Amino acid sequence: MLLPRFEYYQPSDLGEACQVLAELGDSAAILAGGTDLLVNLKTRKASPEHLVALSGLDQLKEINNGGGSLRLGSGVTAGILADGPDTLSSLTALIQGAASLGSPQIRNRATVGGNLCSARSAADLIPPLLVLGAKLVLASSKGEREVDLNDFLLSGARTILAPGELLTAIKLKAPAAGSGSAFIKLGQRRAMEIARVNAATSIALAGDGKTIQSARVALGAVAPRAILSQKAAQLLKGQTASEELFAQAGQAAVEDASPRTCHEFKCEVVSVLTRRCLMQSWQQARGQAS
């Protein structure tokens, strides 16, 4: 399979990248790891005249940790996340999501920014980042803006990213003591697979170590975009954690899911994955609290 013709740019700093993107507008596609884009080019699903490669922007590969917050460059690869470096060890759901993405070869190239901007409903890094409350930094020649990941995603693998705009970083609050998160993916095989359903949850326990101060449940591949289940989050808030409660939350999550295919099967899976993720999140939260 051959690639179509295009012109290639490799800006050496962010300012230059924003300028090039502003000039090229709609005619340019951004090349990060290329594991989605090159497939789309080869299969003629995308046909940009220009590719703007981010490989020259070293700052996008940085992970910064300080003052209770984490800043992940958009060019950090899934492979680096999956290795679970010390700075990210509290972000269990994100590490699990990254480890389940593609194959070793894909993980070594695929970037967190690419996964978010491709914005597929089954993307493995989106549910983890939704439950971890990620904020995205978007840069363009006009300046920077910051948006919640939940507001960034649109239906049908689209985002609010404007032509000429670039996702540069993902900002996360370091989870407090007494909190935990988890991610589970169901596919037909255990590797190199697009999720049939995936789910992530996070739980923050109150000082008593039992009451759920807040919880989030995110689901992938059961709606036109990855979603946060408000019904599950509301049901969990303020309640005493238990396996029974988590089973109820699983049922509540099903109400927010609207899978287009295999409705009955996927709804059952949503309920089970939500319950299992919540159990894992809870165990981790308790472990940290004690």
Partner 1 sequence: MSKHQITLMVNGLERELLVEPNRTLTQVLREDLRLTGTKHGCGIGDCGCCTVLMDGQAVNSCLLLAFEAVGHEITTIEGLADGNRLHPLQDSFIELGAIQCGFCSPGMILSSKALLANNPSPTEEEIRMGLSGNLCRCTGYQKIVEAVHDAAQKMKGASS
Which residues form the interface with partner 1 (CB under 8 A)? 1-8, 10, 31, 34-35, 38-39, 42-43, 51, 53, 55, 79, 102-106, 108-109, 190-192
User: In terms of CB distance, is 2 or 264 closer to partner 1?
Assistant: 2
The partner residues of 144 in beta bridges, in order of sequence, read 139
Nearer to partner 1, 82 or 204 (CB): 82
- Smallest distance, partner 1 to C-beta of residue 10, A: 7
Q: Which is nearer to partner 1, 117 or 217 (CB)?
A: 117
> Minimum CB separation from partner 1 for residue 74, in Å?
16
User: Shortest gap between Cβ of 32 and partner 1 (angstroms)?
Assistant: 10
- Residue 134: name the closest of 118, 149, 117 by CA: 149
Q: Are strands 153-154 and 143-148 parallel, antiparallel or unpaired?
A: unpaired
Main-chain phi, psi angles of 8, to 5 degrees:
-120, 130
Nearer to partner 1, 90 or 198 (CB): 198
For residues 150 and 136, the answer to whether their CB atoms sit within 8 Å is: no
Query: Whole-number minimum distance, CB 190 to partner 1, in Å?
Result: 8
Q: Which is nearer to partner 1, 8 or 66 (CB)?
A: 8
Q: What is each CA distance from 42 to 15, 34, 47, 253, 275, in whole angstroms?
A: 30, 11, 9, 37, 40
Q: How many other C-beta atoms lie within 10 A of the C-beta of residue 228?
A: 19
Radius of gyration from C-alpha coordinates of the chain? 19
Task: Please report how close the Cβ of residue 133 comes to partner 1 at its closest, in angstroms.
Answer: 30
